[in-house]
Structure 1
Amino acid sequence: MDRRSFLKASAATCAATLLPRLSLARADDGSFELEASKGKARLYGEDGATSDLWLYNGQLPGPEIRARRGERVRVRFTNNLDEPTSVHWHGIRIDNAMDGVAGLTQPAVQPGESFEYDFVAPDAGTFWYHAHNMSWNQVPRGLSGPLIIEDDKPLFAEGTDVTMVLNDWRLDENGALETASFGARMDFSHAGRLGNWLTINGQSMPDIPLKKGHWHRLRLINTSASRILDLAPARFGAQLIALDGQTFSAPREIDGTLQLSPAQRMDLILRPQQTGTVPFETMTGKPFTFANFQVVDAEVPSLPLVVPPANALPEPDLASARTLPLVMEGGAMGGMRSLMKDGKEMDMRQMMEAGLFWAFNGVAGMEEKPLFSAKRGETIVLDSRNDTAFAHAMHIHGHHFRVLERNNKKLEHPDWRDTFTAVPRETVKIAFVADNPGKWLIHCHMLGHAASGMTTWFEVS
């Protein structure tokens, strides 16, 4: 869809002040009520067709859940879909039984049934929740929402802490969600399900209100099935203060672009000094504006900037670490001629018939035996190499890790992440303390890649 059609379709939408905070209210007993069901929404402006979606509480994105660091979070989840599902709390270091991975940490929640998630959020930051049963089918239909764990006391005034859920959709010629290609092997074996339309908080080309002279915190969450977004914070006067929910000791200027891969988050701060319109763009290919910041005069005085304190994460002991390989293989143009599944070698024809296109260390998909077992408190170094023709966003459940090296070069900022991006032929070395007991996934967050082989697990005793 070209830019002229886009502008025409969204003209009425742009006049409104969007991005309301659809927070999830607590029930009388202090728990949250969350329901998955079928719903409808317009993704392509007011002139676009209505899309059939799967939604949490009938909202797109799902309602924002907010709690404080160290607070107990209880969510009563009810599945009113026609197929089983579960809810994963992405990036939260919680008890393994609450991780929400159907078939590994809990049985899938059947249609008409409920499950109560009950956990303590140890870290403040920007996180999210999403379906984790047949994720390749359920998440790009709308089953995701923001999870914000606040610091011990508010650091930003009301209206200056802004959540921005970024999503990439594949729309048909009428502007409705295209569903016939869900599960297409062409997508699974290539870059994944890529869309042709971007929204923020479910809205096309929204206006995002900002206050002149006030510090704002922008919480960006990429909930796309496969789309990597290249963003340039300096183009709209922002600085980086956190990645994947983990804050830095000081704001950081970004020279050029920064990748925000599926499942990743970045927190930015900015203090606009002039009223007017400031575009928010993706820099992938040519710069494309898919939202506008609208800066207005503020009637109340601004608060001074206070950088959120860092979370207390266990520091890896590299001197005693155990190093393990994580080789990403397969996919179209990958050159892989066979792989292992359940202890048996499969040739190319058998792989295609089984819908398996990707592997870790030559093994496709979940096996009974974990990739590795670790003693609690042991430092694990994963030495990864992307031997494929496509980028991958690798997510580790239940832990955060430091990204130490890329292509054998130590990084100036070995940041904490829960998801790292590896481009073709790149090596990435990460390290973490396996301190959270249980069975945890490692998978590509290009959801079609995970479904077709790029998923494994490890165990912490």
Structure 2
Amino acid sequence: MNRRHFLKTAVASLASTSLPRFAMAKTGDGTFQLEAVKGKGRLYGDEGGLSDLWLFNGQLPGPEIRVKRGEWVKIRFKNSLEEPTSVHWHGIRINNAMDGVSGLTQPAVQPGETFDYEFVVPDAGTYWYHAHHMSWNQVPRGLAGPLIVEEDEQTFESDTDITLALSDWRLDDNGVLDTASFGAMHDFSHAGRLGNWLTINGQNMPEIPVQKGRWHRLRLINMSASRILDLAPSRFGAQLIGLDGQVFDSPREVDGTIQLAPAQRMDLIMRPEGDGPVPFETMTGQPYTFANFTISKEANNDDLLRLPKANALPEPDLENARSFPLVMAGGAMGRMQSATKNGQELSMRELAQAGDFWAFNGQAGMGEKPFFSAKRGETIILESTNDTAFPHAIHLHGHHFRVLERNGKKLENPDWRDTFTTQRGETVKIAFVTDNPGKWLIHCHMLGHAASGMMDWFEVA
């Protein structure tokens, strides 16, 4: 589907929960073509009006890019918007020059220009890509898509390997995307841009076909700007097998709910046995159904479960680690009185006038000097404290880390993550090996929080 055809049909790309797989759209030299364009779509369904969206290749979400572990990926990105942008490959331990952070790892791609992204994907798993220039404005308009790195040995057939991109949207009374509220200072200083409408792969209340008696892999990606989703996999017969692209040695039963914060992913397995439909819910105080699994009647009782193998990530050396504090402060109802910005101490009133409400370690936004500098191969421990009134989802670029402790208590499962959630007043300790050279961003993935002060960078020699 080219751009002209999309603009004529307006909503054709929102018609199915099945995502087009970009592995079939290579050019002759093996390069993917990815383009940021303006388009329109009905987020509310047939009863809603047409929303103005920004899209990758005219699709919502962007096309699912599927590659194999260890593959050299080449993507020619064209910016057909009227403002600069860039593309970040979230969760991939990527070459620093290809990380897509405008102003840190590359210049922003100007309107009408192209940029060639070339990188190796070292780890299998569920990842995603999204705009990383004025992300608070561009991602919640639609500039995001799945990036799936397949294992060496295929463990699920293509029809039972299902990607589900979850997004919340702020719609007006006509069911149209509310664009006037982008950049609202109330959102920046509170919980972020929270929507009032949920979609899966661009649809609300879709029917997700699954097959009775067969094992399915569900890849959930939270592409929301700020919304934390509470899910209860056991309510639809699912087990957890991985987080943020990193699979476990064995499946886990989830007792109660598990959070999926903005930018986080979770991999589930399920084997439908009933006749359906089975509701897919968020747990916002009470169950809220936003999709249904529809089950085929043919049973396959001989289907054996084969789980993917875990990636080989460098284990932190805790005995020889260096530790750094990461204190989050600011926001409405916070206790921050002042912070440093561009080397100058500013009061909270002065910061707010400049559009800054948050700080890491007393600094609002990135400074000229890095948060810390590390040698390649060092182990770094970050001890974070959330001294704010709101939760945050903290993302480390270019690395995965183990979550070791919460509120001083060691975790039974110190899982690998690239984004961790921290609640009001909570302390979280993480550890990782600085095995990837370059300048790397660390920021809150409530995108308005990052834009208004909650970001910094670190350097690996």
- C-alpha deviations, 1:218-253, integer Å up to 9, x for none? 000000000000000000000000000000000000
CA distance in 1, matches of 2:395, 2:36: 24
Are 2:41 and 2:51, in contact at CA under 8 Å, matched by a contact in 1? yes
- In structure 2, relative to structure 1, the CA distance for the partners of 1:298 and 1:17 (3 Å cut) is farther
Give the corresponding residue for 2:377: 377
CA distance in 2, matches of 1:372, 1:284: 38
Give the corresponding residue for 1:10: none
CA distance in 2, matches of 1:217, 1:68: 17
Deviation at 1:19, TM superposition (A): 1.5
CA distance in 2, matches of 1:316, 1:145: 31
2:191 maps to amino acid: A
CA distance in 2, matches of 1:306, 1:348: 54
Deviation at 1:157, TM superposition (A): 1.6
The answer to whether residue 122 in structure 2 is matched with residue 122 in structure 1 is: yes
- C-alpha deviations, 1:416-439, integer Å up to 9, x for none? 000000000000000000010000
1:127 maps to amino acid: Y
The 3-state SS of whatever aligns with 2:304 is coil
The 3-state SS of whatever aligns with 1:345 is strand
Are 1:17 and 1:208, in contact at CA under 8 Å, matched by a contact in 2? no
CA distance in 1, matches of 2:331, 2:228: 18
CA distance in 2, matches of 1:383, 1:282: 30
1:397 maps to amino acid: H
- C-alpha deviations, 1:310-344, integer Å up to 9, x for none? 00000000000000000000000002111111221
Are 1:128 and 1:146, in contact at CA under 8 Å, matched by a contact in 2? yes
- C-alpha deviations, 1:249-273, integer Å up to 9, x for none? 0000000000000000000000011
Deviation at 1:287, TM superposition (A): 1.1
CA distance in 2, matches of 1:110, 1:135: 15
1:147 maps to amino acid: L
- C-alpha deviations, 1:121-169, integer Å up to 9, x for none? 0000000000000000000000000000001121112310000000000
- C-alpha deviations, 1:379-414, integer Å up to 9, x for none? 000000000000000000000000000000000000
Superposed, 1:204-219 pairs within 5 Å as 204-219=204-219
Any stretches of 5+ residues in structure 1 without a counterpart?
Answer: 1-12
Give the corresponding residue for 2:188: 188
The answer to whether residue 171 in structure 2 is matched with residue 171 in structure 1 is: yes
Are 2:328 and 2:361, in contact at CA under 8 Å, matched by a contact in 1? yes
1:427 maps to amino acid: T
Any stretches of 5+ residues in structure 2 without a counterpart?
Answer: 1-10
2:185 maps to amino acid: R
Deviation at 1:455, TM superposition (A): 0.4
Are 1:17 and 1:206, in contact at CA under 8 Å, matched by a contact in 2? no
Give the corresponding residue for 1:36: 36
Give the corresponding residue for 1:86: 86
CA distance in 2, matches of 1:440, 1:350: 28
Are 1:323 and 1:380, in contact at CA under 8 Å, matched by a contact in 2? yes
The 3-state SS of whatever aligns with 1:287 is strand
2:183 maps to amino acid: G
CA distance in 2, matches of 1:126, 1:302: 27
CA distance in 2, matches of 1:454, 1:402: 21
Tell me how large the CA RMSD over aligned residues is.
1.3
CA distance in 1, matches of 2:384, 2:340: 19
CA distance in 1, matches of 2:157, 2:303: 7
Give the corresponding residue for 1:355: 355
The answer to whether residue 149 in structure 2 is matched with residue 149 in structure 1 is: yes
Give the corresponding residue for 1:315: 315
Give the corresponding residue for 2:108: 108
- C-alpha deviations, 1:30-77, integer Å up to 9, x for none? 110000010011100111111000000000000000000001111000
1:295 maps to amino acid: I
Deviation at 1:302, TM superposition (A): 5.4
CA distance in 1, matches of 2:448, 2:344: 23
CA distance in 2, matches of 1:114, 1:341: 33
Are 2:19 and 2:201, in contact at CA under 8 Å, matched by a contact in 1? no
CA distance in 2, matches of 1:171, 1:124: 35
Give the corresponding residue for 1:387: 387
Greater CA drift, 320-329 or 340-349: 340-349
The 3-state SS of whatever aligns with 2:208 is strand
Deviation at 1:204, TM superposition (A): 1.1
Deviation at 1:303, TM superposition (A): 3.7
- State percent identity of aligned pairs: 71
CA distance in 2, matches of 1:424, 1:297: 46
Give the corresponding residue for 1:396: 396
CA distance in 2, matches of 1:141, 1:17: 18
CA distance in 2, matches of 1:161, 1:138: 28
CA distance in 2, matches of 1:17, 1:130: 22
2:121 maps to amino acid: A
- Moved >3 Å (runs of 4+): 298-303
Deviation at 1:299, TM superposition (A): 7.4
Greater CA drift, 23-32 or 385-394: 23-32
Superposed, 1:236-385 pairs within 5 Å as 236-298=236-298, 303-385=303-385
Superposed, 1:446-461 pairs within 5 Å as 446-461=446-461
Are 1:22 and 1:64, in contact at CA under 8 Å, matched by a contact in 2? yes
- C-alpha deviations, 1:337-396, integer Å up to 9, x for none? 111112211012211110010000110001110000000000000000000000000000
- C-alpha deviations, 1:280-331, integer Å up to 9, x for none? 0000222110000001024777541111100000000000000000000000
Are 2:211 and 2:299, in contact at CA under 8 Å, matched by a contact in 1? no
The answer to whether residue 235 in structure 2 is matched with residue 235 in structure 1 is: yes
CA distance in 2, matches of 1:425, 1:156: 41
CA distance in 2, matches of 1:103, 1:335: 30
CA distance in 1, matches of 2:291, 2:123: 30
Greater CA drift, 294-303 or 221-230: 294-303
Deviation at 1:21, TM superposition (A): 2.5
The 3-state SS of whatever aligns with 1:47 is coil
CA distance in 2, matches of 1:303, 1:442: 42
Deviation at 1:449, TM superposition (A): 0.1
Greater CA drift, 338-347 or 396-405: 338-347
Are 2:213 and 2:299, in contact at CA under 8 Å, matched by a contact in 1? no
The 3-state SS of whatever aligns with 1:139 is helix
- In structure 2, relative to structure 1, the CA distance for the partners of 1:76 and 1:171 (3 Å cut) is same
CA distance in 1, matches of 2:19, 2:83: 29
